[in-house]
Structure 1
Amino acid sequence: MRCGKGIAGLSYSMISPTQTSIESGIRSVEDPQLCFVGQEQPIMPIEIQDHKPVVEALRDREQELSQLINMVPSHLWRLTPEGEPTFFNKRMVDFLGLDVPDMDRRGKSRLEMLVETVHPDDAAEFRDTLNRCLVSGEHFTMRYRLRRADGLYRWMSSRAEPMRNHAGRIVHWYGLCHDIDDQMHAEEALRRSQQQLQQMIDAVPVRIWSITSLDDPVYFNKRYQDHFRAVIADFEAIEDPRIETLLQELIYPEDAPEVQRTLLNCFESGRGTVMRFRWLEKDGAYRWAECRVEPRRDQDGTIVQWYGVSLDIDDEVRAQEALRNRERELSLLVDMVPSNLWRLTPEGETTLANKHMADFLGVDLQDKRQLAVVFDTIFHPDDVDAVSDVLGRCLKTGELFSMKYRLRRHDGVYRWMSGRAEPLRAPDGGIVQWFGLCHDIDDQVHAEEALRRASEQLARATQAASLAELSASIAHEVNQPLAAIVANSQACHRWLSAAPPNVERAKITAERITRDANSAADVVSRIRALFRQAPQTRSSEDVNHLIGEVCRLMADGIAAKGIRVETDLEPNLPPVALDRVQVQQVFLNLVRNGVEAMDGAMVDGARTLQISSRRDAIDAIRIEVRDAGTGFEHAERVFEPFFTTKQNGMGMGLAICRSIIESHGGRLWMANNETRGATVAFTLPLKASESS
């Protein structure tokens, strides 16, 4: 307003809008013909003295209003119809750090200065919105960030309305700017929290839903909705998905009615529930799910909303089913095991017996009391104390239980059992249970008893067989000298019966008879000493010389069969301490066996018996007898007593030969030749000879 003369010639300057209104009111009261401020009307002189109290009261009122405007906890401002700021209350001046007069700078309007206090990201929208309102006269409403005096931007919620004159023309714009920065940050934090919560609800690997009542649509989290889109073709067309619709679309037809009844009972009773059902997956298969429903109540206990969580438990259900099948299979296996299985507590109380044991004892598996009572009375009276002592010790120490005892069958018969039990321990080593097995060995025990008796009888039979073996051995070895005595006796008779009698040859033959008789006596004596394991008298002998004696002794018989003897004897062999008669018997047996092997078979080519001797390494002499016969058909049994392939053989020759050689500390063995025939060899150690 312009400066001018006031009432009674007093001058006045620009005043606040409140002051202007007050002055205008005064003038209107003093003179009804006066108009609003801004209208140039003649001012009539009046008496001030009468109106002075009124003016003072109005001035006090003006001061009070001014203080009220400055104390309002918001920013108040005023703009011209063109948008130029004309007034900021004190709170806004303190916030911006500048007043309206401070905005009069060269080159920029007050409006431009005002826009510069707005955050750059909000300035363009602020300018456009304000200009639109200035032009259209509509209310200004906007949220933006305003720069504080310290350079910090804070969110403001601003509103402005135009003041019009009686002609409807806008005179001023009055606005209010309220600091909502804390509210905006709280809302932003709330939005982030809600966003995080929504993301968590959508990301959690379960399906979540909520509903206010059965008549309201159901909220589903993203995982639920993705599932619906994959399964229900027209899901997007369903504006308000409801429980009944989804039950018909998703749940297995046999499960849907029960699920619906359970939900209705849950909503009517106000209590939570748990349901299991099968529902459709996108691959067309049904999977088991578990749904848990709980109500949310307000402080008064009134149900505000229902929440549900659906979990996929198909793998769990199938695993439980497999476990139940496995349990049934194991139970059947335990019952079908042909042994008595049982279980004890760590204190020794019986808690389980398989069907096989229950049938054996004649008890009912379902009656645990009967099971415990029967186990106290099933042991044989002679075994009760021993079983109690051993089992009690095992329960205390944790060592394995193992013993034999007799159990009473349901018919009263006691049968031998072999019982074993081991403890099942917890991770800390404590015994949880004992598992035991008792196997029926009654037949085995009786069989062992019968075997023991048979063993005793066999021992007595073996003694008799040993006597028979001794007799057979003596007969076998004496047979040769006796045959020689008979042959020489016949020869002596022929010499004496000749005409004239050949006394000289008869005398020689008689000497041979005497020699053969003494040889038979020596054979009997040596064999008896061999089987008695009596000390034997041994002499140092030349092995090659013994071989020569045997060959000369059997020369006539060998030549008569058309067999030629070849010897390969290593000269200068050291003498060996041996029993001359026994070793000669070995030579005789081996040579005779070789001759008989070639005589009784069709042998092509030369029939030759090869005898060799050599130093075997440095500690033994080795003698071999090689024939060109058919070899041994059962090589693994040739040294068994009484085993023979000869028609009139006794099967004792090689057995006795091995016994003689082994008694000298040597070894005798045989092998079939690669081409034909067989080789029998033995060794005589030199250590015994050197020590003797």
Structure 2
Amino acid sequence: MVQVQARCKGVLSSGLVAKAKQWNRFIILEEAGLSNVEMRVNDEESPVTMTSTSSATRKTEDHAPALSSTAADLQSQNALLRAEIDDLATQLRMRHDEKAAASEEEVKRIVNSMPMLVWSAHPNGMVDFSSEKWLDYTGMTAETALGAGWLAAFHPDDVELSLRRWLGLMASGAVESAEVEVRVRRYDGQYRWFLVSAYAFKNGSGVIQRWFGSNIDIHDRKLAEDEVRRSEMCLSSAQRIGNVGSFSWSGGEDTLRCSEEFYRILGLEVGTSVTFGRILERVHPDGRFQVMSLRNQRFAKPHEHENRLIMKDGSEKCVLVKISRRESVGGAFAYHGAIADITEKRKSEDALAQARADLAAVAHAASMGEMAASIAHEVSQPLLGILTNAELALRKLSSENLRIDEASQAIRRVIRDANRASDVIRRLRDLYSRRGSAHEVVDLNDALHEVLDLSRSELKRERIAVSREPSLRAIQVKGDRIQLQQVMLNLLRNAIESLASTPEANRTILIRTYETAGQVTLLLEDSGKGFTPEDSRKLFDSFFSTKPGGMGIGLSISRSIIEAHRGVLWARNNDLGGATFGFDLRAATHTLTAGSGS
């Protein structure tokens, strides 16, 4: 601020007036005459002092004025003073311009140092300034970016949106800021995403004086958001294809965060609030307690269980649920889980089990046909004994010399043979009857003995020597006795058939049973020709057989039965020829002494 001080050292002549007038920061001093005037003009930065003096004698009432200078001298002094004042005003104006220019340069430097692209516009929206970074990025000149020229840097697909938002902002007059995401062309022709923001600058009356704006590069963030959206879409599609939904909740909360597939599996409207209460409405009554126990359970390992859902139409769904717990910030626990709709899988497994049961029945029937000769021989022997002893008893009772003792012995032999035939028929009926699975403690040695009894005639006819190496104690497993005997019979018949091309003198089968570390093993070792490496990969496949006319279902069914008992059916070639087939099962939890009945 410029200060002007005037001090009169004499008396002003009549009619002289001193005036000081300030306009902006310049001083215009208009005077009509001065006498002994001293003037100091002080600038805040560089004070300047100017002095002008003249002599005059003011006429008073008591004395006449004595003039020491003429009017011409006074005008000359005034002109000189005005020139000095004009020179001072010029210096001040130049200093003001320099300071204004320096201030403008400082503003530009600050604007150009900002990381974003800065611009400004008139109240009507016409751009009047673009920062150097804006111009360097777009490759445009300051002149081409003026007015609405900046639209040339926007992607063609974004021009309409940008112009509509910008004109709408101008027309509203009330909105003070706005944002829009657009693609801006770089100097090399590449487009990148920017967040364009505009802010209104108003005066004290609320009237918009100018618009200021910035363009912030959000291309990397935009790409990351797009990638997240694509990942979410892929995850949603994968969940829909796999019938798997996801969910999560925080410890102590009752509301769950769920995926769309979760809603679909439970038959709920997408986007609605899901609480444990709503879930329990869908869960079968038998599984509700298990769901509630999981809410705040502190399980260290991932939890897994199956449950049933009751849908609105009364149908049931079978689901597999897996949940894990993780510690989050603040010591709270977050639970994350997945739910899979396994209804169709369970139906397929049931259908497969039924198909295997039907296939086993076919195998049973086939085995019965193949063993018809053995069955006839086993039954015909006791029947022939019954007939012979009955005729003998009849003769003894009909003779003149009645021999009651001999008749009684013959009748006892009849009863013995009848029981023998009955046992054969019972074992055959149990072996080939179609009944449900009944798990019990089974002594493998006893079960094997019955199978060998049924096959004795066939073994004798094929001239096969069978030797046994039973365990010194009872070999017991828990399972279905009849199904396990079916496996033994299939393995025995497989061994018999493999010896068909072996010389009669070398036809042998060794059967061993033993227990090791809680595992029970039964194996049959034959002296046949074994199997090829190519066949080893398909031995237990359905309908694969190395024998002409073979059905290829015996070993397949045997594997299904052993696996249902959580065991393993295996085969290997012997070092000296032939093959060994066997199975491993878990031993029963309790054992009986060797030789005791099952």
Instruction: Tell me the TM-score normalized by structure 2.
Output: 0.46
Instruction: Tell me the TM-score normalized by structure 1.
Output: 0.40
